[in-house]
Amino acid sequence: MNRTCKLLAVALAGAALFSLDFHSRSSAATELSLGVEAFNKTEGAEAIEHLEKAVSLDPENQCARVYLATAYAKEYRPGVTTPENTYSAEQAIEQYQHVLDFTPNRTLRIDSAKGIAGLYLQMNKFDDSKKYYQMASDLDPKDPGPHSSIGLIDILQRAREEMKLGSLESVGVCQTESPASWAIRSHESEPYADADAYEVYSALIPRLSPNPETKTWFIGIDTLPIGGSLDDQARKLWTQTRGADSALDDYYKVNRKIWLLQKKFTLPNPYRLVTREQLKAMFPPHFREGNFGELWLELSAVGFNANKTLAVVYMANFCATQCCCAAWNSYVLQKQNDMWKVSSETGCGIS
């Protein structure tokens, strides 16, 4: 082969490689677009299929990897120990970790560190979770979120230790009531008649699953007195939510006493108002493995701003009368088009 032919062969080979690379990247972009579209429609399996193809066709596309990791993370269900569920978590962590290892993009690294931290938190791998929240905090020192999450994990770890010792009452923030408040009985409470409050409750409660055996929500009949977790979570919301100051002021005032809830909820499933004594009789105090849904929930009274367009409320839900499946959350809701919607929340949980 003469020199000209050799040069032509090299040129043609280079053109073919360029064409193949261009085609791969073009196909990868198409798969990424289809994956993002399916992801936004919450079609998890389809999103993962397209995003897997996008990553395979263009392994250097770190955005595709972040989307793929997030799609797998959304498929993960805390407390479920099936191989498929474990695989979802492992694949999400693997993709996030690849981004951390191979991209200098600060935003993608922050998102990946937070993604891994959140998954480890759901998996109750607290030390691993703190490691990645610290990584996210180091990447963005001005973001208070990771630092707050580390503090929350410290509380959860202490709660676990307290529960092993049989003294959950001494756990500070993740405690729904002080033991002294348990002495207050329903017959000493005044009826809670604020119709707007029941609209807020009715918008919030369906976020939880009803009792899995009866398909009914069991709701503690007394509102929770302020103090302990209720007070601490409200303070967190105060720092996170603009414009909610007057609602938080009202929240503190209205929760200085215990109210007796009325049957004014509008819920898609049946509900039943129950006393603490009834709950103890209905659900024996034992540890339940796995995901059993919310066996019962408890509510604070609702704080409103002056024109009742913002609301602050606290809700606790439990899977057994004694740990180890529970969540304690405070919410800010905003009224839009005559409907209440959650605009921010903060809290903690044990599973």
Q: Which of 49-58, 65-74, 172-181 has the lowest mean pLDDT?
A: 172-181
What is the average per-residue pLDDT within 114-132? 90
Domains contained in the chain, number: 2
Of the two residues 147 and 73, the one the predictor is more confident about is: 73
Q: Which pLDDT belongs to residue 159?
A: 53
Both 148 and 209 in one domain: the answer is no
Domain boundary among 107, 126, 160: 160
Structure tokens at 190: 């005044």
Both 215 and 320 in one domain: the answer is yes
Both 135 and 248 in one domain: the answer is no
- The answer to whether position 233 is within a domain reads yes
What is the average per-residue pLDDT within 193-217? 90
Q: Which of 22-31, 183-192, 250-259 has the lowest mean pLDDT?
A: 183-192
- The answer to whether position 53 is within a domain reads no
Both 306 and 211 in one domain: the answer is yes
Q: Which pLDDT belongs to residue 214?
A: 79
Q: Coil, helix or strand for 91?
A: helix
- pLDDT range class, residue 118, cuts 50, 70, 90: confident
Residue type at position 204: L
Domain boundary among 116, 136, 160: 160
Other CB atoms within a 10 A radius of the CB of residue 255 amount to 24
Q: Which of 3-17, 113-127, 187-201, 276-290 has the lowest mean pLDDT?
A: 3-17
- pLDDT range class, residue 240, cuts 50, 70, 90: low
Q: Which pLDDT belongs to residue 323?
A: 41
Structure-token match 């989307």, residue found:
67
3-state helix, strand, coil in the chain (%, to 5): 55, 15, 30
How much of the chain, in percent, has pLDDT values that exceed 70?
68
Task: Output the domain CATH number for residue 112.
Answer: 1.25.40.10
Both 200 and 108 in one domain: the answer is no
- The answer to whether position 274 is within a domain reads yes
Q: Coil, helix or strand for 313?
A: strand
Is the per-residue pLDDT at 8 higher than 50?
no
Task: Give 29's contacts (C-beta < 8 A, 6+ positions apart).
Answer: 54, 58
For residue 342, what are the β-bridge partners?
A: 333
Q: Strands 303-304, 271-274: parallel, antiparallel or unpaired by DSSP? A: unpaired
What is the average per-residue pLDDT within 110-138? 91
Q: What is the CA radius of gyration of the chain?
A: 25
Q: Which pLDDT belongs to residue 156?
A: 62
- The answer to whether position 134 is within a domain reads yes
Is the per-residue pLDDT at 128 higher than 70?
yes
Is the per-residue pLDDT at 224 higher than 50?
yes
Domain boundary among 136, 160, 184: 160
How does the average pLDDT of the chain come out, rounded? Answer: 75
CA 13, chain centre distance (Å): 52
Q: Which pLDDT belongs to residue 266?
A: 95
Task: Give 141's contacts (C-beta < 8 A, 6+ positions apart).
Answer: none
Both 239 and 181 in one domain: the answer is yes
Q: Which pLDDT belongs to residue 344?
A: 78
Both 287 and 204 in one domain: the answer is yes
Q: What is the DSSP string of 15-40?
A: HHHHHHHHHHHHHHHHHHHHHHHHHH
What is the average per-residue pLDDT within 83-88? 92
Nearest alpha-carbon partner for 181 in 189, 173, 193: 189
Both 255 and 291 in one domain: the answer is yes
- The answer to whether position 17 is within a domain reads no
Q: Which pLDDT belongs to residue 152?
A: 64
**266 CB burial (10 A radius; 0-12, 13-18, 19+):** exposed
Both 134 and 193 in one domain: the answer is no
- The answer to whether position 124 is within a domain reads yes
| Model confidence pLDDT, tens digit, residues 294-323 | 678 889 999 998 899 999 898 888 765 444
Q: Which of 104-108, 125-129, 231-235 has the lowest mean pLDDT?
A: 231-235
Other CB atoms within a 10 A radius of the CB of residue 291 amount to 15
- The answer to whether position 309 is within a domain reads yes
Both 131 and 219 in one domain: the answer is no
Both 293 and 209 in one domain: the answer is yes
Both 120 and 184 in one domain: the answer is no
Burial code (b: 16+ CB inside 10 Å, e: under 16) for 28-62 equals beebbebbbebbeeeeeebbbbbbbbbbebbeebb
- The answer to whether position 78 is within a domain reads yes
Task: Give 282's contacts (C-beta < 8 A, 6+ positions apart).
Answer: 218, 274
- pLDDT range class, residue 107, cuts 50, 70, 90: very high
| Model confidence pLDDT, tens digit, residues 251-284 | 888 888 889 999 999 999 999 998 877 776 766 5
* Domain extent for 222: 172-350
